[in-house]
Amino acid sequence: MKFILFLVIPFLIVPSSSVDSDTYIGKWEIKGGSIIEIYREGDIFYGKIHKRAEQPLSNFNGLDNKNPSKELQGRPLLGMIILDNLSYNDGVLSGGTIYNADSGKTYTVKVWINSDNTDLCYIRAYKSFLFKTFEAKRVITN
């Protein structure tokens, strides 16, 4: 009996690996210098462009030039929502989309935070079974 308790007790005191939904809220810097600000309205999460990369790949004039909709090509990238309609479930944000202003395309997205380092976030964009994952670091503001 003591042997069984010895095996079971460590599993009872191990903290949950789930990340709280409030942990996602804040600014996150992606390689290259772009910063996305993740925020919540009710139970839905969004992310908007807070800062553009120092050397952007496209849209040099700061406008959404690659958007397939002509009427949206003149909108500014700063402040534009690129993470849309995400829900929190079991420590992960999912069920929404991410807009890539460099290509004008929208993808399914999943966002999660490293439970060992809550200042590290991963953003994975999906197209069918293909995906690309971006690492983002929390921007600490004073």
pLDDT of residue 9: 43
How far apart are alpha carbons 47 and 40 in whole angstroms?
Answer: 9
User: Which domains are assigned to the chain?
Assistant: 24-138 (2.40.128.520)
**Rounded mean pLDDT, 11-25:** 69
Name the 3-class secondary structure at 17: coil
pLDDT category of residue 17 using cuts at 50, 70 and 90? low
Find the DSSP H helices in 14-111: none
What residues contact residue 95 under an 8 Å CB cut-off, 6+ apart?
Answer: 85, 86, 87, 89
Please write the tens of the pLDDT for every residue from 51-93: 998 878 888 899 999 999 999 999 999 999 999 999 999 999 9
Computed over every residue of the chain, the mean pLDDT equals: 88
